[in-house]
Amino acid sequence: MPSEWLLVGLAVIAEIAAALGLRFSNGFTKPLPTLFALAAFGSAFYVVSLSLVHLPVSSVYPVWAGGGTAGVALIGILVLKERIDIWKGIGIALVVAGIVTLNAASGSYAS
C-alpha cells in the first residue's frame, strides 16, 4: 500500500477522533474536548491534503468521508452503546460498499 494511502488512513482516524471530541465537548462548553476536536479536525484536513498531492480527489474524498462516517457509527454503537437497528446497519454497510465499489471501478488501488 503506497504511503499516500497510509496518509488517508491517518486522516480517517483523525476525523473519527474529531467527531468523538465533538460528542464530548457538550456544544463547545468543555474546553479540553473542544480543543481536541478542533486539533483533530485540523490534523485530518492537513493529512488528507498531503495525500491529495499524488492521489485523485475522486478516490480520496469518498474514502476519507465514508471511512469517517462508518467509523464514527461503529464506535458509537460498539463503544458508546448507541442504539442500532436494521436500517442503521444497512446504511453503514452501504457506505462501506460504496467506497469499495468506487475505488474498484476507478482502479485507484493499483500501484
110 pLDDT above the threshold of 70? no
The answer to whether residue 69 sits within a structural domain is yes
Residues with Cβ within 8 Å of 91's Cβ and at least 6 positions away in sequence, in order, are 73
Residue 79 dihedral angles phi and psi, to the nearest 5° = -100, -45
The answer to whether residue 99 sits within a structural domain is yes
The answer to whether residue 55 sits within a structural domain is yes
Residues 42, 35: Cα–Cα separation, whole Å: 10
93 pLDDT above the threshold of 80? yes
Range of the domain at 40: 3-106
Confidence bin at 107 (pLDDT 50/70/90): low
End-to-end CA distance of the chain: 8
Residues 10, 76: Cα–Cα separation, whole Å: 19
Among 52, 47, 64, smallest CA distance to 99 is for 64
The answer to whether residue 111 sits within a structural domain is no
Count the neighbouring beta carbons within 10 Å of the beta carbon of residue 97: 11
The answer to whether residue 87 sits within a structural domain is yes
- Please tell me whether the overall predicted TM-score, pTM, comes out greater than 0.85 for this model: yes
* Number of domains the chain contains: 1
